[in-house]
Amino acid sequence: MAQYIKAPNPTLITLPLQMATKTLLTLALTSLFIGLSAADWNILSRKWQNARQDSWKNYCESWRINVEVHNIRDFEVVPQECVDYIRKYMTSSQYKADSERAIEEVRLYLSRCSCCSLKGDGKDAWIFDVDDTLISTIPYFKKHGFGGEKVNSSSLEAWMEESKAPALDQTLGLFQEIRDKGFKTFLVSSRRETLRSPTVDNLINVGYHGWTKLILRGLDDEYVQVQQYKSQVRKELVDQGYRIWGIIGDQWSSLKGLPDAKRTFKLPNSIYYHS
């Protein structure tokens, strides 16, 4: 009697093959994705590092700009993350270009017919700040943290006594132009009166001559905020009949307060803040 062997169901044979194929494909794809993920992780790490650097750069530029427009006030030190950025800016051609642009705005103001019709009575005045307006303290801060540490007044004054601060050339030219136009030029500084002699020597040595008066802080002014002290100086000048056509300085405390000038001009400085 013939025996018939039942043929296997093709479907039953196909299923294990499909499962094996899927398993192999899954393993291959998994290996591929693991490799890609590792590669992507390395790439992303570099991108993340660059993004982090860009983020700090943007933060520090934003911090500096907000100091300049007086949104950030009364800071004692530059944020540590931004010290190197501020150092690079304050020693860069961009700092010089920003200062020169401010000086050019002064010249444009002086050239307008509506400005400064001098009466010839010796009462038309212009006020200059001294440090980081006429002469630069950057050489000092290069050795003292560029704003990343609190200002040591004793150390800074010892440096000032050496009379080695260089002129800010763009302001030196402007000072000479304003003086030659017939303005009485008042140099109003937050330096103490004890620094008068080295300050005068320093100014003369770098080319400043012919100012009307150098005003420094006396004993009565030492515990007064800078803005209050400089406002009081302006009041005394106005009481003497002077017309203050302009002020140029690197600190808002040199520019704000009453009585004010007809125009004020701010030079960049984000190393320190005088209130």
Confirm if 225 and 74 have CB atoms less than 8 A apart. Answer: no
Eight-state DSSP code of residue 215: E
What is this structure's pTM? 0.79
Confirm if 130 and 137 have CB atoms less than 8 A apart. Answer: no
Give dist(CA 194, CA 151) in Å, integer: 19
Q: How confident is the model at residue 251 (pLDDT cuts 50, 70, 90)?
A: very high
Q: Is 52 exposed, middle or buried (0-12, 13-18, 19+ CB in 10 A)?
A: exposed
Give dist(CA 12, CA 33) in Å, integer: 32
Confirm if 141 and 86 have CB atoms less than 8 A apart. Answer: no
CB-CB neighbours of 144 under 10 Å: 17
Confirm if 193 and 270 have CB atoms less than 8 A apart. Answer: no
Q: Is 145 exposed, middle or buried (0-12, 13-18, 19+ CB in 10 A)?
A: middle
pLDDT of the residue at 116: 72
pLDDT of the residue at 208: 98
Q: How confident is the model at residue 44 (pLDDT cuts 50, 70, 90)?
A: very low
Q: How confident is the model at residue 63 (pLDDT cuts 50, 70, 90)?
A: very high
Confirm if 132 and 272 have CB atoms less than 8 A apart. Answer: no
Confirm if 196 and 221 have CB atoms less than 8 A apart. Answer: no
What is the per-residue pLDDT across 19-29, written as a single tens digit (0 to 9) for each?
Answer: 544 554 454 44
Confirm if 90 and 65 have CB atoms less than 8 A apart. Answer: no
What is the per-residue pLDDT across 185-209, written as a single tens digit (0 to 9) for each?
Answer: 999 999 999 999 999 999 999 999 9
